[in-house]
Amino acid sequence: MRISALSVLALGFGLGLVSFQLTACSNSADDCNATATCGASSTMPHAGAAGKSGGGSDTGGDGAGGKTGGGSSNNAGTSGSEGVGGEGGNGSGACTGDVSEDAACWTTNELGVFVSSDSGDDSGAGTKEAPFKTITKGIAAAAGKNVYVCVGAPDYTEHIRLDAASDGIRIYGGFECTNWTYATTRSAQVLSPSNIALRIDGLKKGAQIENVGFQAADATGTGADASSYGAFVTGSKGVKLTRVELKAGKGAKGADGEAGTTGANAATPEAKQKGTAPACGTTVEDANGGSWPSAMCGSRGGNGGATVANTPGGNGFSGTPGQNVTPANKVNLGGGTSGDNVAGGAGDSGSNGNEGPMASAAALAGAFAAVGFTPAAGNDGGNGFPGQGGGGGGASGGNVNGNTTCRGASGGAGGMGGCGGGGGKAGAGGGASVGLFAWSSDVALVSCSMESVAAGAGGKGGESGIQGTGSDGGDGGDADLAHKIEKGGDGGRGGNGGPGANGSGGTGGPSYALVYSAGSQPTYDAVDTTLKAGEPGAAGKGGDGLATKGLDGTVGASAKEFEVQ
């Protein structure tokens, strides 16, 4: 291009100047003007060569002369013009698409923290060269960066929790641990030591997880902790799971109900329960029959019949209670007598107490709420009823022998009834197994799998408590055969208490691949996302103690999806 200009100068200023410029600026072997090979555009400025693709994150500079333009993004620089280098490529360093689409660009220390179960150390820097050991540490240190998790030889034994502190987190698990290459066919595996593998709560920006498998442990607790969840999501928006496997552990078996307590045996009669002996003389005081100072568990033996001088013996009293015993309202008193050498009538035995009220059956199913699943337990059996106290013995009659007045012997108190046995306790309901639980949340699934396994069986109802036994009645007062007075009647034996009722069995837990609250159904394509439900929990058996057999629980449910209304 300069040679054309020099030719003009040669015409105006002479051959010597032309000779000088040619020596300084031209190689005749290469110059198109010298060789007459320049094209039509040779009188126009040359275009500089295209700037090369930028690398790193610095801004590309202009090329000099006709050299290629500098650049530092992935975009090529523009062609240079008029001897000026092309414009540098976009130096922003921003990667396009998702990690799976351009992993080489995304996997830098500037854009992510790195986690390796193979070689990581949670005291490290979290870089590609010095990764963390646990995903939990990577999440805590992310500070807006992605979390890159490689598929290590040991799985990640931890429980993953995402909450407000990690809102907007992005976790990718398809990396190889040596070179950190990415493949969508690889997945890092999390084996949770707890009954929830992945817990997400209260996210507003959301979360994105790709190529990670979550396996929850079998549940071993009670109540809300009796169920196992692959993932448990509550109150969160924008949760996206891609190529994520969610597998629950087994639901816990409901605990068997405890047996009812054994009813107390009745007290043994002592001196105060024995009738009073006859007495003779010119002045004779009246005498009451044997008696108990108070009731025991609602049972009391009847008082013995009283005696009065020169009067027929008094009747004893029936024992109590008269209800919830069989037969009811039994009159079991001993009758008083009169005449020489006639003993007072003995009291009759008390009726046995009835068994406790039967336990009602467990609900047909437990209930899901924001806190998870509450199993359906059986119910406690009622306590057995006390036996009726024995009837008090009748008194023997008094008489007159010459100038001597005698009273008869008073009757003994009836024996106490035994106490009722305690009711058997309820069998607990079985825990649930749930692949994904989503409550008041926005969850999108892409090429995922959700699996539940066996739910927990209901617990057996507790056996009825054994009833207490009744006691013998008190003896009637002694005889005075010298004065032709027989003994008072003995008190009757108290009835046995009734056994407690058996507890009812708990209902088996459900097995659902997916559970969601009304309005929170996750979005997914049925073609590339799979749901698999396991076996429902077996029904718990009712208690089978002495009382009528308790009611069984209900078998749990099993389905791929369940919407909580």
Strand partners of residue 563: 516
pLDDT at 159: 97
Mean pLDDT of all residues belonging to the chain: 86
Query: Please, is 565 exposed, middle or buried when counting C-beta atoms within 10 Å of its C-beta (0-12, 13-18, 19+)?
Result: exposed
Q: Which residue has the higher pLDDT, 87 or 444?
A: 444
160-182 pLDDT, tens digit each:
999 999 999 999 999 999 999 99
Answer yes or no: are the C-beta atoms of 513 and 535 closer than 8 Å. no
Residue 42 is given by DSSP the state: G
Phi and psi angles of residue 240, each rounded to the nearest 5 degrees, phi first = -125, 125
Proportion of the chain above pLDDT 70, given as a percent = 83
Task: Give the E-state strand segments of 44-151 in sequence order.
Answer: 47-50, 79-81, 112-115, 146-150
The CA-CA-CA angle for residues 313, 319, 325, to 5°, reads 150
Tokens in use for 351?
């009726």
- Is the pLDDT reported for residue 82 higher than 60? no
pLDDT at 403: 65
pLDDT at 26: 36
- Strand 372-374 versus strand 367-369 pairing type: antiparallel
185-238 pLDDT, tens digit each:
999 999 999 999 999 999 999 999 999 999 999 999 999 999 999 999 999 999
- Is the pLDDT reported for residue 328 higher than 70? yes
Phi and psi angles of residue 196, each rounded to the nearest 5 degrees, phi first = -125, 120
Tokens in use for 162?
């995402």
pTM summary value: 0.78
449-504 pLDDT, tens digit each:
999 999 999 999 999 999 999 999 999 999 999 999 999 999 999 999 999 999 99
291-301 pLDDT, tens digit each:
999 999 999 99
DSSP run (H or E) holding 444 = strand 443-446
Q: Which residue has the higher pLDDT, 10 or 547?
A: 547
Least confident of 39-48, 316-325, 457-466, 501-510: 39-48
- Strand 443-446 versus strand 239-242 pairing type: parallel
Answer yes or no: are the C-beta atoms of 551 and 474 closer than 8 Å. no
Mean pLDDT value of segment 56-73? 37
Angstrom distances, CA of residue 457 to CA of 94, 254, 409, 426, 558: 54, 6, 65, 14, 13
| Spatial CA neighbour of 244 closest among 205, 199, 187 | 187
- pLDDT band for 376, please (50, 70, 90 cuts): very high
Interatomic CA distance for residues 486 and 321, integer angstroms: 30
Interatomic CA distance for residues 506 and 137, integer angstroms: 41
Strand partners of residue 404: 401
Answer yes or no: are the C-beta atoms of 347 and 332 closer than 8 Å. yes
The strand order across the sheet containing 245-247 reads 188-191, 212-215, 245-247, 449-451, 530-532
19-39 pLDDT, tens digit each:
333 233 333 334 433 333 333
83-128 pLDDT, tens digit each:
344 443 333 457 888 888 888 899 999 999 999 999 999 999 999 9
Tokens in use for 309?
């001088």
127-150 pLDDT, tens digit each:
999 999 999 999 999 999 999 999
pLDDT at 119: 94
